[in-house]
Amino acid sequence: MDLTDAVDRDRLLRTFLELVAVDSPTGQEREVAELLERRFADLGCTVTRDEIGNLVAVLPGTRDGVVLIATHMDTAGTDRGIVPLVGADGVVRTDGSTILGADDKSGIAGCLELLTLLRQDPGVLHPTLELLVTVGEESGLVGSRALDVTRLTATHGFVLDTAGAMGSITYWSPTSVYLTITFHGRKAHAGVEPEKGVSAVRAAALAVAAMPLGRIDPETVANIGTVHGGEARNVVPDTVVLEGMARSHDQGKLDAQLDAMRHACQEAAETTGATVEVLAEEIYRTYRIEEDARPYREAARAIASVGLPVIPRKSGGGTDGNLLNAKGIACVALPTGMVDEHATTEHIAIDDMVLAARVLVAIVTQDPDPRDAR
């Protein structure tokens, strides 16, 4: 029997609903981490937790090779008390007051289903599995940034943490830079002597109005997401802080976009008499996995084996895969079925979760490619 056909739809759904019911906003992952430690251990894994809270569960293989499977345990935002609703249409959603948390508990549920199947059929050949579940992914890949990859032995892997059509392989992801822009003006009484003040708000507004933002070109985007400043409506504000980001698959285009944003800030400061500081922090760096690379080939073979078309996907977002690739572990990212992640309209079709689990099982249990023989 093909083990991919043994994925149990009802069990997978129960596991997913159990995980979603455990609150785990970024920074509050302890309860779900303890649950996962127990579940992984019960399924035959040796489990360790590093100093920041990342979990690594290792299942010994029955053939040569080591494969990494990465997910994350935190959910975006601050929503707690998530109540998943299973619709008659086979789609899991909430009542619209919270996110669902399919990002990335659908990925974790798939991993637990894989381990369950391998435990039920110990004669199935598979490589050693290193299952990484990170903390803080939603707040800038905090867990994978702190991860000591020397603790891992896998040379390649798969990140179960993307949206997109089932069968897609995210082989290319952008570089992302966070911007913190601080304008300094001069405080004054806005009703009595406004001419003595220099408005940091006006300077910031001029800068934002002059910046190229949104979709810049097919590879590049930029955004100013938050504005903080001022203390009262009758005080000329002396400080305003803008928080934003820029991303691109092309480093040259990203550099040009950052230069344009800095130039807009400097021009606005000079026009108004303010000063400005622009801090740029690279959060993650682009990666591109070629079609003949091992993780892409293994994913493509598995996807085709379950009857899905292989769809190359260039992503506008980042995952732990960006940092794993940067640290020397070649990874592609695969979809779990999640849709509208981070929004209160987030949902997932049970059938798509089953497909994602079947692809994962196929990756792990397929015959090795002779090209990869050591």
For 197, phi then psi, to 5°, come to -100, 160
What secondary structure letter does DSSP report for 310? P
151 and 291 fall within a common domain: yes
Spatial contact of 200 and 274, defined as CB atoms under 8 Å apart: yes
Choose one of 245, 261, 284: the last residue of a domain.
Answer: 284
Asked whether 306 and 355 are in contact (CB, 8 A), the reply is yes
Whether 263 and 290 map to the same domain: the answer is: no
CATH code, domain with 216: 3.30.70.360
Q: What is the full DSSP assignment across 227-267?
A: EEE-S-TTEE--EEEEEEEEEESSHHHHHHHHHHHHHHHHH
Q: What is the pLDDT of residue 140?
A: 87
Do residues 208 and 165 both lie within one domain? no
Summarised one tens digit per residue, pLDDT across range 56-113 is: 999 999 999 999 999 999 999 999 999 999 999 999 999 999 999 999 999 999 999 9
Expressed as residue numbers, the domain containing 265 is: 180-284
Check the annotation: does 228 bind a ligand: no
Between CA 352 and CA 345 the distance in angstroms is 17
Q: What is the pLDDT of residue 371?
A: 80
Q: Do 67 and 21 reside in the same domain of the chain?
A: yes
Among 74, 161, 238, 346, the one annotated catalytic: 74
| 134-167 pLDDT, tens digit each | 999 999 899 999 999 999 999 899 999 999 999 9
- The residue from 104, 130, 137, 161 that is catalytic is 137
Alpha helices in the chain (DSSP H): 9-20, 30-42, 102-120, 142-146, 200-210, 251-272, 294-305, 320-326, 350-365
Residue 368 is predicted with a pLDDT of 87
137 catalytic per annotation:
yes
**Statement to judge: residues 185 and 158 lie in one domain:** no
Q: Is the whole-model pTM more than 0.85?
A: yes
CATH number, position 128: 3.40.630.10
Residue 280 to residue 260: CA distance in whole angstroms: 13
What does each C-alpha distance from 50 to 105, 112, 137 come to in angstroms? Answer: 20, 20, 15
Q: Which of 284, 301, 330 is the last residue of a domain?
A: 284
pLDDT at 1: 63
pLDDT < 70 regions, the chain: 1, 373-374
- Give the total number of structural domains in the chain: 2
Task: Kindly list the distances between the CA atom of residue 267 and the CA atoms of 222, 238, 358, 366, in Å, as whole numbers in the listed order.
Answer: 19, 17, 55, 59
* Shared domain check, 211 and 89: no
Beta bridge partners of 177: 246, 282
Shared domain check, 147 and 51: yes
Q: How far apart are CA 25 and CA 32, in angstroms?
A: 10
* 120 lies in the same domain as 26: yes
Q: Of 232, 253, 284, which residue constitutes the final position of a domain?
A: 284
CA distance 169 to 158: 10
Measure the CA angle with vertex 103, ends 98 and 28; round to 5°.
70
Predicted pLDDT of residue 10 = 98
What is the distance between the alpha carbons of residues 56 and 49, in angstroms, rounded to a whole number?
A: 6
